[in-house]
Amino acid sequence: MYWHYPAFWLYSQAMFIKLTRSGGRSYAQLVESFRDEQGRPRQRTLATLGRTDEIGGQVDSLLQGLLRVKGRPAALASPPQVQFESALALGDVWVLHQLWHELGFDRLHAVFRRARYTTPVEQAIRVMVFNRLCDADSKLGALRWLQTVAMPDVDPGSITHQHLLRSMDALMDHQASVDDCVAQLLRPLIDEQLSVVFYDLTTIRVEGLSQQRDDVRKFGMSKEGVVARQFLLGVVQTADGLPIYHEVFDGNASEGPTLKPTLERVLQRYPHVKRLVVVADRGLLSLDNLQMLSELKLPGDRALEFILAVPGRRHGDFVELLAPLQARAEGSAAEVIDELSWQGHRLVVAHNAQQAADLTQRRRDRITALQVRAQALTGKLDEQDAGQSQRGRKLSDSGAKARFFHEVCEAHLANIIRVDLKSELFTYDIDHVAQARAEAMDGKLLLVSNVHDLSAQQIVARYKSLADIERGFHVLKSEIEIAPVFHRLPERIRAHASICFMALVLHRVMRQRLRLAGSPLSPEAALQQLRRVQRHQVRIDGAEPIAGISTIHQDQADTLDALKIKKPSLDAQMSLL
């Protein structure tokens, strides 16, 4: 009786290997297939090669001989010696590499090649940008991270710490050319007909106390409400959430004066834009800014348009103007949007009754708590004057004034609760007019605009989209970890900001694609998921290494599809080995 195992047949023209069993043992036979005189298929056994269950028998000897003829190690009697090399993360850097080239950031290579740099500056910049997104760390930390990933077109051994620092210097030495290159790759992504852009600033904390020439590290009030050494970072973003420009300012600069130079550079960088509507937050509105914005012109002598929020310190200027709207706004449960005219501009007012009631109540609660505190201080002073003994240090009127004034300032009520610091006795007063004025402005959003073809509701919606750029700053400070900055030199600080800006562009493009595809993943979650796709390398019996890529599971394949990135393949990775 014969058993056929097609998986073991080795065809050589009309010959193959057939396994047979006899007496409970298995034998290998060399069989030839042919046709007889009538054309019918027939088989005949040419040779019995030996028992297949006998280690070191005729079959093993034959196979070892065949392996030697093919130039391969003949090691059938012992298991093969397998040497595994460390696995390298591939999926996350593969995605970023594809986006880097797709968006055109690889054109930076030509910028530095024209400058006759002999070192691969673009590669070093790419390493620092990818590190910000994958595992943000210092420059030395970026080198350690580079040893754990299979970054395309980058030899980890050729990148040193000095190489990274010199590449940052090169980035700033050719800043104009780099900015032009980045602008060219972003221009196709910007709407020529109506480009609504959002502008805001944030504070970036720095470390170190040294002083440098033209230092941008200054002491100023940070966004966290404390005085710190810092610099300001301004970012311009499109309505789709794409960053298109950034600028570094001194840490003690006021926000308003940064608006004009920023907008002028944006107009220079993107001259193809036919219309520009600037949306900016409360800190950037002043009469000077309104005049300046009215004077700025687009190509073709077209006016620059703007939507600016009125800061809280200016709300008192609008109390009488908004008085007729107060009754209607308070009587509605939904948000009420009205429009008035102010100094030749549109004044759009959005009132949220529920938010107004909450703000008013919280303010009244703080005022009540401070009044109770003032009564306690007054009672202690009266008891001391009456000669009653008390525990603790003796309280003076000047000490009570200082304590109470500090608590009032911390509660942001110094314009309502007025402490008389010039009086010899501890005394204060409640300014009920100021309180009523503040309550009248609770829940109101005031927007000044010269845009005429958008409704009041559309203007409010445009401004509320400004919150998206604030999320961009959150990404810079959390995922990209732009702060704290340890660089001393101003140009290195600007280079660090430029690298983080490029990382933010990649982050926002990933976010847009994931949203359009309906993926629930954030860019951080997508990169973390794809980081599990790895490149492996193994050696068998000392032969040439064999490379391979780990299995791409369905969820990883779905993420790659959402990002519009092709799957990494071994052929694409062969140049890395």
Cite the beta strand spans of 10-69 per DSSP E. 15-22, 25-35, 41-51
CA distance 488 to 210: 7
Q: Which of 111, 109, 89, 125 is nearest to 505 (CA)?
A: 125
CA distance 523 to 132: 13
Long-range contacts, stretch 483-486, CB < 8 angstroms, 24+ apart: 483/204, 483/205, 483/206, 484/205, 484/206, 484/207, 485/204, 485/205, 485/206, 485/207, 485/231, 486/138, 486/206, 486/207, 486/208
User: What mean pLDDT is predicted for residues 380-396?
Assistant: 81
CA distance 143 to 145: 5
Q: Which residues pair with 82 in a beta bridge?
A: 540
Tokens of 123: 């590669």
Query: Would you call 207 helix, strand, or coil by DSSP?
Result: coil
Q: Is the pLDDT of residue 510 over 60?
A: yes
CB atoms within 10 A of CB 179: 16
Q: Which of 246, 259, 244, 234 is nearest to 197 (CA)?
A: 244
- The angle subtended at Cα 399 by Cα 393 and Cα 403, nearest 5°, is 105
Q: Which of 542, 536, 528 is nearest to 573 (CA)?
A: 536
Tokens of 458: 């559309």
- The pLDDT confidence band at residue 515, using thresholds 50, 70 and 90, is very high
Taking the alpha carbons of 435, 437, 439, 441 in that order, is the dihedral positive or negative?
negative
The 10s digit of each residue's pLDDT in 486-505 is: 999 999 999 999 999 999 99
Position 9 scores a pLDDT of: 39
CA distances from 417 to 269, 366, 436 (A): 49, 11, 13
User: What mean pLDDT is predicted for residues 10-37?
Assistant: 77
The 10s digit of each residue's pLDDT in 329-373 is: 666 667 888 999 988 899 999 988 888 889 999 999 999 999 999
Q: Is the pLDDT of residue 11 over 80?
A: no
Tokens of 145: 């991270």
CA distance 357 to 22: 96
CA distance 381 to 396: 7
CA distance 90 to 168: 25
Tokens of 245: 């420009």
Q: Select, from the ranges 122-131, 205-214, 480-489, the one with the highest average predicted confidence (pLDDT).
A: 122-131
What helix, strand, coil percent values describe the chain, rounded to 5? Answer: 45, 20, 30
- The pLDDT confidence band at residue 384, using thresholds 50, 70 and 90, is confident
**pTM of the shown model:** 0.75
Q: Is the pLDDT of residue 12 over 50?
A: no
Q: Is the pLDDT of residue 577 over 60?
A: no
CB atoms within 10 A of CB 53: 11
CB 269 within 8 A of CB 261: no
CA distance 507 to 293: 31
Taking the alpha carbons of 466, 468, 473, 477 in that order, is the dihedral positive or negative?
positive
Position 575 scores a pLDDT of: 46
CB 360 within 8 A of CB 351: no
Tokens of 443: 């829940």
Position 499 scores a pLDDT of: 96
Fold of 6-77: Transcriptional Co-activator pc4; Chain A (2.30.31)
Q: Which residues pair with 417 in a beta bridge?
A: 430
- The pLDDT confidence band at residue 301, using thresholds 50, 70 and 90, is confident
CB atoms within 10 A of CB 224: 9
Percent of the chain with pLDDT over 90: 42
Q: Is the pLDDT of residue 83 over 60?
A: yes
Q: Is the pLDDT of residue 2 over 50?
A: no
Of the listed ranges 80-94, 184-198, 199-213, 407-421, the one predicted with least confidence:
184-198
What are the residue boundaries of the structural domains of the chain, listed by start? 6-77, 353-387+394-441
Burial 73-89 (b: 16+ CB within 10 A, else e): eeeeeeeeeeeeeeebb
User: What mean pLDDT is predicted for residues 2-13?
Assistant: 41
Position 268 scores a pLDDT of: 86
Average pLDDT, the chain: 85
The DSSP-derived string for 63-117 is HHHHHHHTT-----SS---EEEPPPEE-HHHHHHHHHHHHHTGGGHHHHHHHTT-
The DSSP-derived string for 360-399 is HHHHHHHHHHHHHHHHHHHHHHHHHHTT---SSSPP-HHH
CB atoms within 10 A of CB 471: 11
First to last CA, the chain: 51
Number of helices followed by number of strands (H, E) in the chain: 19, 20
User: What mean pLDDT is predicted for residues 525-541?
Assistant: 90
CA distance 18 to 5: 7
- The pLDDT confidence band at residue 275, using thresholds 50, 70 and 90, is confident
Q: Select, from the ranges 52-66, 95-109, 213-227, the one with the highest average predicted confidence (pLDDT).
A: 95-109
Strands 305-309 and 345-351: unpaired
Taking the alpha carbons of 198, 201, 206, 210 in that order, is the dihedral positive or negative?
positive
HSE, side-chain direction, 13 A CA sphere, residue 55: 5
CA distances from 332 to 122, 351, 354, 417 (A): 58, 9, 9, 31
Q: Where are the alpha helices (DSSP H) in 442-546?
A: 456-464, 467-477, 490-516, 523-530
The 10s digit of each residue's pLDDT in 172-183 is: 999 999 999 999
Largest Cα separation within the chain, whole Å, is 137
